[in-house]
């Protein structure tokens, strides 16, 4: 596997009068588990979307090792989108298709539209998909329609789909925001296990600070598009938190924390 650092330099994205991401410079070494926190509208989603080029920068650059991501076009851009798998709050599975087929769709990432339409898969690809589902404890559901699963199960299928892309980086945009605490824990534990076992870099947006503290090697806090804090959970003091969220944000944020407080399930994560 290609182990490279992800480097953002003076990365900026403006939407009209709004600067969603402002002059962000960061270097993320391979294998780090990074949480991005901040109030609603702070720029977290835009930052992730810049990394996989769903959003184009107004200024600045992104490198992955010596590959200049912000200059990629055509085939090279499709390859990059396969290398950085993305999971979303709303899972984005095809509900009428079975779980296995949904995972196999991950193998089509980076292929053109025409070959995607044929949906032909090899036995080897099927075996890979089952193996990915098994890692997420979802293999027994392989033939069930995706739409019949719980939200947490759907998110684990979405992670399996991301895994069969054989990505270098996993981007997750509020992957647990619509899950109850039990399912949120299972999804975060799955991301943590993949990060440890595969050495895969994980960059995850979280709206709850305690989840970031519990799971992330490194926490990046954004406010009004800019990075306000970049450090470990222990460095994230109450004063810094008050700065990140502001007085009114803190009330909004306390409510979010108490409603979805989760912790890693230590027995599920091998050291």
Ligand X SMILES: Nc1ncnc2c1ncn2[C@@H]1O[C@H](COP(=O)(O)OP(=O)(O)OP(=O)(O)O)[C@@H](O)[C@H]1O
Q: Applying CB under 6 A, which residues contact ligand X?
A: 15, 18, 20, 38, 40-46, 207
Give the closest residue to 168 by CA, choosing from 74, 54, 80, 77: 80
- The nearest distance, CB 177 to ligand X, in angstroms, is 8
- The nearest distance, CB 3 to ligand X, in angstroms, is 28
Instruction: Report the sign of the C-alpha dihedral through residues 178, 179, 180, 184, in that order.
Output: negative
By C-beta, is 77 or 256 nearer to ligand X?
256
Q: Which two tokens stand for residue 251?
A: 């009330």
The two beta strands, 218-223 and 226-231, are antiparallel
Taking a C-beta distance cutoff of 8 angstroms, is the pair 158, 100 a contact?
Answer: no
- The nearest distance, CB 42 to ligand X, in angstroms, is 4
By C-beta, is 177 or 269 nearer to ligand X?
177
What values do phi and psi take at 241, rounded to 5? -60, -40
- The nearest distance, CB 188 to ligand X, in angstroms, is 17
By C-beta, is 39 or 82 nearer to ligand X?
39
By C-beta, is 55 or 233 nearer to ligand X?
55
Residue reference for tokens 């979802």: 138
Q: Give whole-number Cα distances, 229 to 42, 43, 65, 117, 218, in Å.
A: 13, 14, 24, 44, 10
- The nearest distance, CB 266 to ligand X, in angstroms, is 29
**Which secondary structure element, helix H or strand E, spans residue 207, and what is its range?**
none
The two beta strands, 169-173 and 84-88, are parallel
Helix axis angle, 123-135 to 151-163, nearest 10°: 130
By C-beta, is 44 or 82 nearer to ligand X?
44
What values do phi and psi take at 223, rounded to 5? -145, 130
By C-beta, is 24 or 146 nearer to ligand X?
24
- The nearest distance, CB 29 to ligand X, in angstroms, is 24
């Amino acid at each position: 596997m290609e182990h490279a650092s992800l480097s953002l330099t003076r990365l900026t994205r403006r939407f009209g009068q709004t600067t969603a991401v402002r002059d962000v410079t960061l270097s993320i070494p391979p294998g780090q588990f990074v949480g991005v926190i901040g109030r609603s509208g702070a720029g977290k989603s835009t930052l992730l979307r810049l990394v996989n080029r769903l959003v184009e920068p107004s200024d600045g650059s992104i490198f992955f090792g010596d590959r200049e991501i912000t200059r990629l076009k055509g085939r090279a851009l499709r390859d990059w989108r396969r290398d950085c798998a993305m999971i979303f709050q709303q899972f984005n599975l095809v509900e009428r298709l079975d779980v296995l087929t949904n995972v196999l769709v991950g193998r089509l990432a980076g292929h053109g539209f025409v070959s995607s339409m044929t949906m032909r898969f090899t036995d080897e690809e099927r075996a890979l998909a089952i193996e990915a589902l098994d890692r997420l404890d979802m293999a027994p559901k392989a033939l069930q329609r995706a739409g019949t699963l719980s939200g947490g199960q759907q998110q684990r299928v979405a992670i399996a789909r991301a895994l069969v892309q054989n990505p270098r980086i996993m981007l997750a945009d509020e992957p647990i925001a619509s899950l109850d605490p039990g399912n949120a824990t299972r999804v975060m534990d799955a991301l943590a296990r993949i990060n440890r076992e595969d050495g895969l870099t994980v960059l995850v947006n979280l709206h709850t600070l305690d989840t970031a503290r519990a799971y992330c090697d490194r926490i990046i806090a954004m406010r009004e598009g800019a990075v306000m804090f970049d450090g470990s959970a222990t460095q994230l003091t109450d004063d810094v938190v008050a700065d990140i969220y502001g007085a009114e944000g803190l009330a909004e944020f306390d409510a979010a924390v108490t409603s979805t407080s989760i912790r890693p399930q230590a027995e599920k994560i091998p050291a």
